[in-house]
Every structure is written in C-alpha cells, then in structure tokens.
Amino acid sequence: MTADIDQSIEHAVSKLKAGLLVAFPTETVYGLGADASSAAALERLYAVKGRPTSHPVIVHIASVEQLTDWAKDIPAQAYQLAERFWPGPMTLILPKADHVLSQVTGGQDSVGIRIPSHPLALKLLEAFSGGLAAPSANRFGRLSPTSAQAVEAEFSDSPDQVAMVLDGGPCDVGIESTIISLLSSQAKILRPGMIDADSVAEVLGAEAFSFGSSASAGETRVPGALPSHYAPQTKLTVASSEQLIELVLELNAMERSAAVFAFDSTVAKLRSNLSGLVFDSLVVAPEQVDQYARALYEQLRRFDKLKLDRIFVEAVPYGSAWDGVRDRLERASAEVSA
C-alpha cells in the first residue's frame, strides 16, 4: 500500500519537474499543482484553468524553513501564525522574495504561501522539494472540487491537460483556506475560511489585527472577491427559513423543481407542506459549522447535476465561525440585481 503511494508520488514529481500539471488533495479543496519556479508550467496552469494571468496563485511549501525561499521581510506575526495554524488551512500574504516569478504574484510585490496539512500533499511537497503553485482544481469561476472524482469531472473534456490526479479521498475542511495579509502592521483577512477572525486575533492580539468586512468587491486581486465566484450553474438563492418556505411553495405551485439545503426544523416544515417536490433534493444541513463546510461544495455539485430550476439554501447563523461558509454562499448566490 505505502509502496503504491510512494510510486504515485514519484510519478507525480516527475510530471511536475517536466512542467506538467498534477492535481492533488489538500485538507481544504483539491489543488491543481504546477512548479512555481517554472514560467512554462505556470503558463500551462493559467491556460488550463482559464484564469486571467493578473490573478495571483498560492505557493504551497512543506515546511516553515522554506518561507524565506519565497518571501522576504517576514514579520514576526507570520511565525506566530505559522506556529499555531500550519500545516493547515491558512494562507499568508507576504512581501515576495526577489526571484519569485510575476506569473505567481500576478505582477504584485507580494506572494501567498501555505503549508497544507493533508498527508498526501505534504508527502508530495517534501518529495518535490520546491514550491507548488496550486489554485483550486476547477475552471475559473466554478466551484472548488473536494474529491478526486470532482477534479476528473471538471477536466473531463480535456483529460490530457492534467497529467495526473492524486486521490486523497474527500477533503476534510471543504472550503478554501483563510487568507491573511501581513503586508501592513495590522493583519487583515482577505478571504475568510475555517480559521476564523477570533482565532487569528487570539494569536496576534486584537490590536494587531483589523476586524471588519474582509475582501470587498473592489479588491479584484483576490478573484474570490468577484461576486460571481464559486458558483454552481443552477441559480442559487440564500434565504431565511420563512422566506425559503415561501419561495419553495411558490415555485412548487408553478410546477418548477427546486433543491433545498436547510436546517432540520425548516426541512421538517417543508416536508409537512409539500407533496410534489423531488425528495432527493431536500437535504438537511449539518448544524455544526465544520460538518457544514465539509459538505457544502459536494452538495452544491450534486444539486447542480440534477438540473433543477433553483437551489435554495437556508441562511447560516451569524458569528465569525460561520464567516467562511457565509462568504462562499454569498458568492455562489451572487445575482445581477438585488
């Protein structure tokens, strides 16, 4: 078994060294990996993803010692956060080391760096020994894949573009890493995730951390901040329990189909009200945020495949623990008006 894994890792490393792309599991979502020090590999990466070249990618490394290979003028805060959260679902934005290619940074002076905790990702990074640029393994603007099967499906129309997909099972975290900028003395969350603002403030001290709304729509340097990001193809609406029940009943009266992801009590109310709804599309959402995040993208993907008219998701609780999930739902439901 381990021999098999070692062999796949070896195979993956040789593909990466040859400038090809290898999809690999991380604890957040699957990444599409490319040698971060090869301009040709990075160009291939952008082409396959269909991503504008002005959008920076995260460099994945195996150990804190490698930080100085990619970043310079590293503040003490970086090491404090690394100590607490790496390996794990956190990306730090730091001043880039001089040699870092503009294809990595989108032409900026900063670089995003992460040490993932998935054992297969760490094994791959250790064997590769350099940095791997790895955006989520989806085409630009689509939902991030949280299983090897979802990666295969994403690139099924051009399978030869991705040299290999390492299968590490379903992702444990389920949404993308928390991105923290350390470019000024006040750390700032650019993309919320499962490491929440309170946990970051706990490490840095509240005065060294700027709370408040993170990635504003104007900051297009984080493409996740574009409103239509992370979107399924079916129109998705987030609504409170009462609104959601009303909307589903309305749609049902028009004999249109809907998928619903809602908390237990809302689903119970719907069940007692509805006869015509496709049973399979009425799903109870986990009350625990970790379980919710783990299930979210897989669930939206499954809904999308059913080709129903609408997807309804019950609004999630307030509080910083849910910021990452709430952010992804907002983006997935971005509508042109209202």
Q: Which residues are at the interface with ligand TXA (CB under 6 A)? A: 26, 28-29, 31, 55-58, 91, 93, 105, 108, 110-112, 114, 116, 134-136, 176-177, 179, 190, 221-224
Residue with Cβ nearer Mg ion (26 or 181): 26
- The per-type count for the chain, helices as H runs and strands as E runs, is 12, 14
Instruction: Please give the C-alpha separations between residue 210 and each of 198, 200, 213, 215, in angstroms, as whole numbers.
Output: 11, 10, 9, 12
> What are the tokens at 227?
């409103």
Minimum distance of Mg ion from residue 273's CB (angstroms): 37
Which of 31/261 has CB closer to ligand TXA? 31
91 binds, among Mg ion, ligand TXA, none (CB under 5 to 8 A by kind): ligand TXA
Going from the C-alpha of 98 to that of each of 43, 70, 77, 78, 102, the distances in angstroms are 20, 8, 21, 19, 10
111 binds, among ligand TXA, Mg ion, none (CB under 5 to 8 A by kind): ligand TXA
Task: Name the amino acid, one letter, at 264.
Answer: D
What is the DSSP track for 114-160? E----HHHHHHHHHH-S-EE--BSS-TTBPPP-SHHHHHHHTTTSGG
User: What CA–CA distance (Å, rounded) separates 212 from 249?
Assistant: 37
Which residues from 107-136 bind Mg ion, rule CB under 5 A? 136
Q: Residue 293: which of Mg ion, ligand TXA, none does it interact with, CB under 5 to 8 A by kind?
A: none
Q: Please identify, using beta-carbon distances, which residue of 131 and 135 lies nearer to ligand TXA.
A: 135
Provide the token pair at 138.
């989806």
CA 321 to chain centre: 16
Nearer to ligand TXA, 49 or 310 (CB): 49
Q: How far is the CB of 173 from ligand TXA (least distance, A)?
A: 8
User: Based on CB atoms, which residue is closest to Mg ion, 137 or 262?
Assistant: 137
Q: Which is nearer to ligand TXA, 22 or 111 (CB)?
A: 111
Q: How far is the CB of 264 from Mg ion (least distance, A)?
A: 31
Q: How far is the CB of 228 from Mg ion (least distance, A)?
A: 13
The CB-of-335 to Mg ion minimum distance in angstroms stands at 20
CB of 30 to ligand TXA, least distance (A): 7
Which residue sits closest to Mg ion, CB atoms considered?
136
Binds 295: which of Mg ion, ligand TXA, none (CB < 5-8 Å by kind): none
Distance, CA of 156 to CA of 152 (rounded, Å):
6
As a whole number of angstroms, the distance between CA 46 and CA 51 comes to: 5
In angstroms, the CA 29 to CA 21 distance is 16
CB contact at 8 A, 38 and 133: no
Residue 187, both tokens: 């750390």
Binder of residue 26, out of ligand TXA, Mg ion, none (CB less than 5 to 8 A by kind): ligand TXA
Residues that bind Mg ion (CB under 5 A): 136
